[in-house]
């Protein structure tokens, strides 16, 4: 089987719902044992239940990616329970215009920027720092950071701080990739376009028309590229930002 992740241990952050839950489910379906992180333990538990119901292995790992000490303690706990972490998917993030108060930069204040940078950049750095040395020692690692088109291009929809955090994450991945390429560790970003929202989040209604493929993204669309990037077969793909957005050309 290609893209076989049997025997691998994965951590997926922010995987209690949405895109992250889809990524966790697909990594587990390929055989990885998955530590499902979320701020909210009950959300993470729901994803774990969905995975274990299909006979795959998953555990809850609730922590805040912006808290470095909590991250390092949680990763140590995951490694005690599942073994060394082979795959890290940095998915936790606060959304763009749809989730924050969309506002032009000139109308925002530092507290608003800090929230966006904390989770979308520091959160990524915290989790990478917690796993990178072990990956280098074992000469194998796969790091994927879920980014956004807003990190690659300028948009006039009031998401400048979010774009700064996501763009920072992309730059960080490129450096991590080069620093650790000879140690068998890859680091890539997956920049998403508009995803279909669950529940009350209807702000994207009608936006399908702006997407060449004609539909919003689904969690499984993102899970599939993460499975590939996490696989042995993707050893020569590193330092890249891969746009997964239904055909909108962003670079």
Q: Which positions are annotated as active-site residues? A: 162
Q: Round to whole Å and give the CA distance between 194 and 217.
A: 6
DSSP state letter for 213: T
Site for ligand NAD in 199-228 (CB under 6 A): none
Q: What is d(CA 199, CA 251) in angstroms, rounded to the nearest whole number?
A: 32
Short-list 220, 192, 191, CA closest to 22: 220
How many positions of this chain bind ligand NAD (CB under 6 A)? 26
Q: Which of 11, 12, 14, 180 binds ligand NAD (CB under 6 A)?
A: 14
Residues in Cβ contact with 238 at an 8 Å cutoff, skipping those fewer than 6 apart: 177, 181, 186, 187, 188
Q: Which is nearer to ligand NAD, 62 or 103 (CB)?
A: 62
And the tokens for 58? Answer: 């998953």
The reply on whether position 189 binds ligand NAD by CB under 6 A is no
Q: Closer CB to ligand NAD, residue 108 or residue 250? A: 250
Q: Which is nearer to ligand NAD, 140 or 159 (CB)?
A: 159
HSE-CB at 133 with a 13 A cutoff on CA atoms is: 6
Tell me if 108 contacts ligand NAD by CB under 6 A: no
CA dist list (Å): 11 to 18, 130, 213, 230:
16, 11, 30, 11
Which of the ranges 16-24, 78-86, 109-117, 128-136 carries the binding residues for ligand NAD, by CB under 6 A?
16-24
User: Are 210 and 170 a contacting pair, CB within 8 Å?
Assistant: no
CB of 65 vs ligand NAD, minimal distance in Å: 4
Q: Between 109 and 200, name the residue whose CB sits nearer to ligand NAD.
A: 200
d(CA 188, CA 60) in angstroms, rounded, equals: 25
Kindly tell me which of 30 and 91 has the beta carbon lying closer to ligand NAD: 91
C-alpha span between 122 and 134 (Å, rounded): 20
Least gap, CB of 119 to ligand NAD (angstroms): 5
Instruction: Please give the angle made by the CA atoms of 179, 227 and 190, to the nearest 5 degrees.
Output: 55
By CB under 6 A, residue 248 contacts ligand NAD: no
**Contacts with ligand NAD, 47-66, as mask; x by CB under 6 A:** -----------------xxx
- Asked whether position 169 contacts ligand NAD by CB under 6 A, the answer is no
Instruction: Report the nearest approach of ligand NAD to the CB of residue 192 (Å).
Output: 4
Give the footprint of ligand NAD on residues 138-157 (CB under 6 A): 146, 148
What are the residues binding ligand NAD (CB under 6 A)?
Answer: 13-14, 16-20, 37-40, 43, 64-66, 91-93, 95, 119, 123, 146, 148, 192, 194-195
């Amino acid at each position: 089987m290609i893209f076989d992740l049997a025997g691998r241990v994965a951590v997926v952050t922010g995987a209690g719902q949405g895109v992250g839950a889809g990524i966790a489910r697909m990594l587990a379906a390929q055989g990885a044992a998955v530590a499902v992180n979320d701020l909210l333990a009950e959300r993470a538990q729901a994803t774990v239940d969905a995975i274990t119901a299909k006979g795959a292995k998953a555990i809850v790992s609730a922590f805040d990616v912006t808290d470095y000490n909590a991250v390092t303690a949680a990763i140590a706990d995951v490694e005690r329970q599942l073994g060394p972490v082979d795959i890290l998917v940095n998915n936790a993030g606060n959304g763009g215009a749809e989730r924050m108060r969309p506002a032009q930069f000139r109308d925002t204040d530092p507290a608003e920027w800090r929230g966006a940078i904390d989770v979308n950049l520091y959160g990524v750095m915290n989790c990478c720092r917690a796993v990178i040395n072990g990956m280098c020692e074992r000469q194998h690692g796969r790091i994927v950071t879920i980014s956004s088109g807003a990190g690659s291009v300028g948009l006039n929809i009031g998401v400048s701080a979010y774009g700064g955090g996501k763009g920072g994450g992309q730059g960080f991945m490129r450096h991590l990739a080069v620093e650790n390429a000879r140690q068998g560790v890859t680091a890539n970003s997956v920049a998403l376009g508009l995803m279909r929202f669950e529940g009350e989040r209807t702000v994207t209604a009608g936006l399908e028309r702006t997407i060449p493929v004609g539909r919003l993204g689904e969690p499984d669309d993102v899970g599939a590229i993460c499975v590939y990037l996490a696989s042995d077969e993707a050893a020569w793909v590193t330092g890249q930002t891969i746009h997964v957005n239904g055909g909108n050309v962003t670079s």
